């Protein structure tokens, strides 16, 4: 039950190391924003560092040239092609034609064929020889996100959860939807109640899919014995496993 997390942290490359430092050296669970960066640097991590790459700059430039579309805004009108944005309900004497035109330009990212390219989550569960279980998640967040957005990565029970008495879970996908269900907490608790990893993972994914049939996500569950399984929705999901008895990593493919 030891936890550390950071969110919306800029200028520090090693987010997962910063999260571990929060766990090891504070009584807090989650640090965010500028102060999370300051904490990480004060604890010895390199920074402040410019984390932009030529690839990310090029991607951003193309997105801005396309009127900042697609994006995660909804029910808004921009003052120009890339904002600032204002709620439509706050605007008076709005031309209905203008509203319809903008609605056609705004595309919900969840319906685009972007798949894994809109996020870059790495989530891992580890069981050591003593039976101790740990999980960790690191992510750059969703592409084209609204500044300040924090996804499911640092949210306990959403992208990862572990309990040494039961097992662990890792998840990735549409974090804004998945974090509403704490799917990894659900998986671990389902295994505590007797479900095997496969049923627990499918049950957690099914709970989300029944409310949001268009979401994309994947879950990996592993019990304390090392038995594992995955479940997914909206995409073909892969995860890898390595155990002492294996000569190399094995990749498992899970179909929706």
Q: Is residue 22 part of a domain?
A: yes
Q: Is residue 49 part of a domain?
A: no
Residues 221 and 132 in one domain: yes
Residues 146 and 241 in one domain: yes
CA dihedral sign, ordered 72, 77, 81, 85: negative
62-76: pLDDT as tens digits = 999 999 999 999 999
Residue 187 has pLDDT above 80, yes or no: yes
State the CATH number of the domain containing residue 218: 3.60.20.30
Annotated catalytic, 121? yes
Residue 105 has pLDDT above 50, yes or no: no
16-74: pLDDT as tens digits = 999 999 999 999 999 999 999 999 999 999 989 999 999 999 999 999 999 999 999 99
Average pLDDT, the chain: 89
Residue with tokens 């592993």: 222
Residues 148 and 27 in one domain: no
CA gap 159, 5 in Å, rounded: 12
Question: Pick the catalytic residue: 106, 121, 137, 172?
Answer: 121
Confidence of residue 91 (pLDDT cuts 50, 70, 90): low
- Show the domain range for 9: 5-42
Can you state the percent helix, strand and coil of the chain, rounding each to 5? Answer: 30, 25, 45
Q: Regarding predicted confidence, which is higher, 214 or 101?
A: 214
Q: Which of 63, 85, 111 is the last residue of a domain?
A: 111
SS3 229: strand
CA dihedral sign, ordered 194, 197, 202, 208: positive
Give the H/E segment covering residue 209.
Answer: helix 197-211
Confidence of residue 120 (pLDDT cuts 50, 70, 90): confident
Residues 155 and 214 in one domain: yes
Confidence of residue 115 (pLDDT cuts 50, 70, 90): very low
Residues 158 and 208 in one domain: yes
pTM: 0.87
User: What pLDDT was estimated at residue 118?
Assistant: 55
Confidence of residue 10 (pLDDT cuts 50, 70, 90): very high
**DSSP states of 45-87 as a string?**
---S-----HHHHHHHHHHHHTTT-SBS--SEEESSTT--EEE
């Amino acid at each position: 039950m030891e936890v550390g997390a950071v969110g919306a942290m800029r200028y520090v490359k090693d987010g997962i190391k910063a999260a571990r430092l929060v766990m090891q050296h504070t009584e807090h669970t989650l640090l965010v924003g500028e102060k999370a960066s300051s904490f990480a640097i004060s604890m010895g991590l390199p920074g402040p560092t410019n984390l932009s790459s030529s690839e990310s700059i090029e991607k951003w430039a193309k997105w801005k040239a396309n009127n900042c579309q697609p994006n995660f805004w909804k029910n808004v009108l921009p003052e120009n092609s890339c904002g600032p944005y204002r709620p439509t309900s706050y605007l008076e004497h709005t031309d209905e034609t203008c509203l319809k035109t903008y609605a056609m330009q705004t595309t919900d990212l969840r319906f685009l064929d972007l798949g894994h390219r809109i996020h870059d989550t790495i989530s891992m569960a580890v069981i050591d020889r003593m039976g101790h279980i740990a999980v960790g998640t690191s992510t750059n967040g969703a592409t084209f996100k609204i500044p300040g957005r924090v996804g499911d990565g640092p949210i306990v029970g959403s992208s990862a959860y572990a309990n040494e008495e039961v097992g662990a879970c890792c998840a990735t996908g549409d974090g804004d939807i998945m974090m509403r269900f704490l799917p990894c907490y659900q998986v671990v608790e389902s295994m505590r109640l007797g479900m095997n990893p496969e049923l627990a993972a499918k049950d957690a994914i099914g709970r989300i899919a029944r409310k949001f049939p268009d979401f994309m996500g994947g879950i990996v569950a592993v019990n304390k014995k090392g038995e594992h399984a995955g479940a997914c929705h909206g995409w073909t999901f892969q995860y890898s496993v390595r155990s002492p008895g294996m000569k190399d990593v094995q990749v498992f493919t899970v179909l929706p």
